[in-house]
């Protein structure tokens, strides 16, 4: 019983290390390509992706929340993108102490080009995985995420 529990525990630690290793490997490859091809960084790409997905721009705090980074980091990223002419800030109509960030026309076009190439890179990097394995892995990862959320949130645990 104790041996079975220890084995199950080791299997889950291995699972976490492999999840992390696969994600890191992928991020490293994408990071390098974004730098070499577009002279940009993964966090800047992520900011542009979040703004592209949001009609009418986002407040700084909403942007931080979506990127899961601190407000301080978001400010640094938005400053850099503003210097590049990719985003602009405007004072929020509803709250004059806060402001909204959105892509400029040039930023939206640049992101469209990058996103298409980025999708090709992802397809290429994961091309060695057979179609049925990709679909199966996707389903398992989706279930894993839900299991993690349930485990991380005690209010959900109470219903189990």
Binding residues for its own copies (CB under 8 A)? 8-9, 11-16, 18-26, 28-29, 32, 68, 119-120, 122-129, 131, 133-138, 140-152
- By beta-carbon proximity to its own copies, the closer residue of 39 and 131 is 131
Contact 49, 111 (CB under 8 A): yes
Can you read off the two tokens belonging to residue 148? 């993690």
Shortest distance (Å) from residue 91 CB to its own copies: 31
Q: How far apart are CA 52 and CA 50, in angstroms?
A: 5
Q: How far is the CB of 24 from its own copies (least distance, A)?
A: 6
DSSP per residue, 66-98: HHTS-HHHHHHHHHHHHHTTSEEEEE-SS-TTS
- Are 67 and 51 in contact by the 8 Å Cβ rule? The answer is no
Q: Decide whether 50 or 100 has the Cβ nearer to its own copies.
A: 50
92 exposure class (CB count in 10 Å sphere: 0-12, 13-18, 19+)? middle
Nearest approach in angstroms of CB 133 to its own copies is 6
Q: 75 or 138, CB closer to its own copies?
A: 138
Q: Minimal distance in Å, beta carbon 85 to its own copies?
A: 26
Axis-axis angle for helices 71-83, 60-67 (nearest 10)? 110
Is the CB of 79 or the CB of 143 nearer to its own copies? 143
Give the shortest CB-88-to-its own copies separation in angstroms.
28
Q: Which is nearer to its own copies, 91 or 148 (CB)?
A: 148
């Amino acid at each position: 019983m104790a041996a079975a529990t220890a084995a199950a525990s080791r299997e889950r630690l291995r699972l976490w290390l492999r999840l992390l290793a696969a994600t890191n490997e992928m991020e490293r490859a994408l990071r390098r390509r974004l730098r070499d091809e577009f002279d940009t960084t993964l966090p800047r790409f992520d900011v542009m992706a979040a703004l592209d997905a949001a009609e009418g721009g986002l407040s700084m705090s909403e942007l931080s929340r979506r990127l899961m980074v601190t407000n301080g980091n978001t400010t640094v990223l938005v400053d850099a993108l503003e210097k590049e002419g990719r985003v602009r800030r405007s004072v929020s109509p509803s709250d004059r102490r806060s402001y909204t960030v959105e892509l400029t026309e040039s930023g939206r076009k640049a992101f469209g080009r990058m996103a298409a190439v980025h999708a090709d890179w992802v397809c290429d990097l994961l091309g060695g995985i057979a179609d049925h394995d990709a679909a199966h892995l996707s389903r398992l990862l989706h279930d894993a995420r839900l299991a993690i959320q349930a485990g991380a949130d005690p209010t959900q645990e109470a219903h189990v």
